[in-house]
Structure formats: C-alpha cells, structure tokens
Chains A and B, each alone.
Chain A
C-alpha cells in the first residue's frame, strides 16, 4: 500500500507535461537564484552601463550579448526573473489567502453575509480588469496621504504591483472555496465538532480549512500564470516594476523601440514569460487531476 502522498505524486507524474513543467520551474528558480554567482564567475555586470559594448553579439563573457546600454542580457534576464517570479508567486499567495478567507466566511456563515460577499465577488468579476488595474497603477500615492518616505522609496513600485495584481486574482478562489465550504459544513464531522462545543472560528480554521487544501492549491497554481502575465503587461506599459530594476515585462518596454536594431532583445524576455506561464498552467492542470481523481478527464474517459 502506498501512502496518500505517494499516490498523489504517482498521479501527478503520470501527467507528463505537468511533471516536465514542474522540473522546468525548479530549474528556472535555481538559475535565477544563482544570478549573483554568474555575475561573479563571468565578470560581467547586469547594471553597469558600458557604452563601448552596446548590442554586443553573444560571446564567451556575455553569453547572450548585451543590451542598448552595454549591460549583460543574460544577467538582466536572470535578475528580471527573480523579480517576476517573486511578484507572481507572492501575489498569487496573497490573492488565494484573500479568496479563501472570503469564500470560507461566505460559505460557513451563509445568509446575508454570504449574499453580500458573493454579490461583491460577482461585481468584481464583471469589471473591466486591465483598464482599472492601469488606473490603480498610475495613482499618485502622495495624494492618498501616505508618508513621503514611503512614496519616494525605491521599493514602492514593487509592493504596489504585488498588491494590484493580487486584487485581480482572488475571485476564482473565493467562489471555489465557498462552493466546497457549503458542502463541508453539512458533514457529520462538523456536527460532531459543534456538539463538542467548538466555536465557529475553531470549526472554520481547524475542521473546514484543512479540507479545503486541494481546491485552494489548484486555484493558486492556476492563477500564478495569469498573475505573471498581468505583472508583465503592467511593467511593459511602464506601470509596474520601474527600471533600472529589471523584470521580464519591463525588459520588453525598450525592446519594442529597438526591434529594428536588436530583435533578440524582444525575444528572450517574452519566451521566458511564455515558458513560465505555460509551465504553471500545466502544473495546475496536473495538480487538478492528481488531487481530484474523480473529476475531469477520468470521469469522461471511463464513459
């Protein structure tokens, strides 16, 4: 007999694309984490401007060549990857925490609160996402009464983009979690917990939340891809991560103007976004199959 987690791993690795994608993601994370090491070994810089070495062809030191300011492209891609992956994963986690809290509360408490929270979710889903995110990204933070030290600090564009893109991702999780909570709260073990005198908070946190793990994991892994796409779009438009800090999105901003001189500058960041997003989507798909063996393709394949 295999343990549940072994079974899970078995089912996941049977989904070949998901397994290959998970491997690719691990490699990407390790490579981007090793950026400082590459910087030292290759003796090139991701930030130092070298105007005598602009648009260098790939060579032994600049493995992918240099950009319009003579900075090493490979290193900028790796450092950009650190930012893009971190923003994507963090925002997805924040979004699914928000979604889980809202869905759990709505599903467990029910009644008016449920009605209100779900109408709110419906309302947010029915909004034109991208234009509104652009407005939020363009806001003048000092008009919000935030202290100047915070507004002018270098990291503000970083925190702001994480917050903004996580606002986009919580609705799916909230709906999924609510649906699962509705059926879980009618189960006997919840009744047993209530009979023992557990408080509502304890029932939600200790008895229902652990059973929500699989829908939340699936929703989160499926939303990371979307969130990375949103971050790259906003950064591309100049509203996300601000240069000189690189992100895969903002590396493409200049590339559009330089497309005649140096098309490869536009190629690499995009292909990395593409690979990362497709990998997260495959992993999400694989997790969905592995965690809910009764839904999805297995039902239809047996009929």
Chain B
C-alpha cells in the first residue's frame, strides 16, 4: 500500500516537472511578447531601450536557461507579478480559489446527492420505466454542452423572468444572504446539471455490477429485505469505484468550472486562467496552469489510493504485480 502511494507520488512529481517545462515552453509561443507590450505602452522607448530591457529581464537567453532561472526563483517563492491585475501572482489566486471552492463545492454536493440516489434507484429497478427515464436523463446530462446550458438558464431566469442576475458577483453594498446567494444560483445549477449525468451512470453501473455477485444471492437467500440487501450489502461495495470518481472530481475543482465561470463572469479560478491566457498575463497563466495540473494530478493519486484503501482486492493485486 505504502509502495503504491510512493510510486504514484513519484510518478506525479515527474509529470509535474515535465509539465512545468512544457507549459513554460508553450507560454513562450503565445502571441505577443512582454517587451513589445512595454514598448507599445511607452512611445518614448527606442529599439535600443527595448534591447536593453530584453537583456535586463534575461529574455535574450536560450529557453532552457530562462526556464531554470524561472524555476529557481519560483522555488524560492517568487512567482512574479500579474500584468492584468498589477499585483503579485499569489495575492490574485487566493480570493479566486475561495470563490471557485464555493461554486464547485456546492454543485458537487448537489450533483452527488441527486446523481447517486438516482443511480441507486435506477439499479434497484433495472429495465423498468423508471430506469429507462433516469437513463435518458443521464444521457441528456452528459451530452448537453455546458456553455449552452448556461446560456439557456440566463435566457429563462435573467432575460425571461428577470429574477436572477445573468452574471458577476455581489457588490460590496449588497449585503444579506440572498444577495450573496442569488449570484450563485445559476452557475451552481448549470454545473450541477452538467455533472449529474455522469454520477448517475457511474452509480447505476457500479450497483448493477455488484448486484450480480454471489454474496448478494446469499444475502437474499438468508431472507433479508430487498432494501437491506441493496443498502447494506450492495451499496457498500458499489461505492468503491464511485468514491474514486469523486476524488477525480475533486482534482478538477481547480479548473473544472472554466466555461461556467467565464459565461457567468464569476471571479473564480477558471475565469482567472482563461483571462490570463487570453490577456498575455504570462506569469499568472503559468502559475495557474501549473496549479491546475498539480490539483488534477493530486486528484488522480487520491483516487488510486482511496480505491486501494477501500478495496483489499486491489491492494493484493497491486502488491503482487510489484
């Protein structure tokens, strides 16, 4: 088990280091150039000045050298300034992360509560009308374009009924629970609808597979009530793969809501990443992309480890293959 954890962590660290270089390279290939941006904002600058600035910031060095310079200052805690926000990068990330955590956390809770119970319900009545309807809804959920869903919600509730704001976040002079909450309703709804289908299908498939096991027949043969068989025997084991899916969702927390946040102008991580990429804010884009990678990798490791902890069969086979 510990070996599994360590090898997973080592592998993820390797991916992270490789990705930091890849992302650094990609940033250099983005349109525009930091010095050109300075030149265009200052008409007095001559081309010699630009050349000197380039040398001053080390931008005339080869890319590997620039990367190592960046890496050493990043490792010592200096992540540079954000161009768009004119602040050190980390002071920009904090509040955005808190906003995303609220948004994604709420919708994850909702989606799990609804999706898992629908999945269990469908598996309890396989191939019935209920199952059929739930399946259809789940297919619709995984097939709907999240950004279009957001537009439709805006169309109905902001344009049509005019009851909810189309985007943004509460202003400082708007206080009270409802004023904070009303900006969250539509983004949370659209994120929830977009992820609920997947949760339903995973839960249903896991339940159906467990229901085919011998120990379920044993439990039924003992004369247990169907609800006891379902919730006491089947659900416990069916939840194992589902828990690891939740760990993956958790990893996506950092960047998963990019589209929804951009459409609703919700100031979270996803919008921060998108604006940084589109606005040539290299320092910010670099760090946020790396953090997104770190979180997704972390979610994956967590999924594997949780799976191994909950399912002794995995643990044994992983140990045997080592």
A residues near B (Cβ < 8 Å) are 17, 119, 122-123, 125-128, 130-132, 134-136, 138-140, 143-144, 225, 229, 232-233, 236-237, 252, 255-256, 259-260, 263, 266-267, 269-270, 273-274, 277-278, 281-282, 285, 297, 299-301, 303
Contacts and interface: CB of A to CB of B under 8 A. Distances in A.
Given A119-B11, A126-B297, A300-B126, A267 B139 contact: no
Nearest to B11: A119
B273 A131 contact: yes
Given A139-B26, A259-B151, A270-B152, A300 B289 contact: no
Contacts of B114: none
A277 B273 contact: no
Interface residues of B, number: 57
B263 A256 contact: yes
B296 A139 contact: no
- Which 10 pairs between the two chains have the least Cβ-Cβ distance? A270-B148, A278-B143, A140-B31, A128-B292, A277-B143, A303-B212, A126-B300, A123-B15, A300-B208, A128-B255
Contacts of A256: 151, 263
A127 B149 CA distance: 25
B102 to A, nearest CB: 20
Nearest to A277: B143
Contact of B143 (A225, A255, A259): A225
A179 to B, nearest CB: 15
Contacts of B300: 122, 125-126
B230 to A, nearest CB: 14
Contacts of A138: 30-31, 277-278
Contact of A236 (B147, B159, B208): B147
Given A17-B139, A135-B277, A138-B31, 11 more contacts: A128-B252, A130-B255, A135-B23, A140-B31, A225-B143, A229-B143, A255-B151, A260-B159, A273-B145, A274-B148, A281-B142
B211 A303 contact: yes
Given A256-B151, A277-B143, A144 B159 contact: no
Interface string B289-308: 10011011101100000000
Contacts of B28: 143
Interface in B248-263: 251-252, 254-255, 258-259, 262-263
B234 to A, nearest CB: 12
- Mostly, the B contact residues are helix
A144 B15 contact: no
Contact of B140 (A126, A132, A273, A278): A278
A256 B153 CA distance: 12
- Mostly, the A contact residues are helix
B278 A126 contact: no
Given A128-B293, A138-B30, A263-B159, A300 B145 contact: no
Contacts of B127: 297, 301
Interface string B168-211: 00000000000000000000000000000000000000001101
B135 to A, nearest CB: 9
Interface string B211-222: 110000000000
10 contacts: A17-B139, A119-B11, A126-B15, A127-B297, A131-B277, A134-B277, A135-B30, A237-B259, A282-B139, A300-B211
Nearest to B262: A237
Contact of A270 (B145, B208, B258, B299): B145
B159 A301 contact: no
Contact of A127 (B139, B258, B293): B293
Nearest to B263: A256
B12 interface: yes
A280 to B, nearest CB: 8
A300 to B, nearest CB: 4
Given A128-B255, A256-B263, A300-B211, A122 B11 contact: yes
Interface in B1-57: 11-12, 15, 18-19, 23, 26-32
B1 to A, nearest CB: 19
Contacts of B26: 135-136, 139
Contacts of B255: 128, 130-131
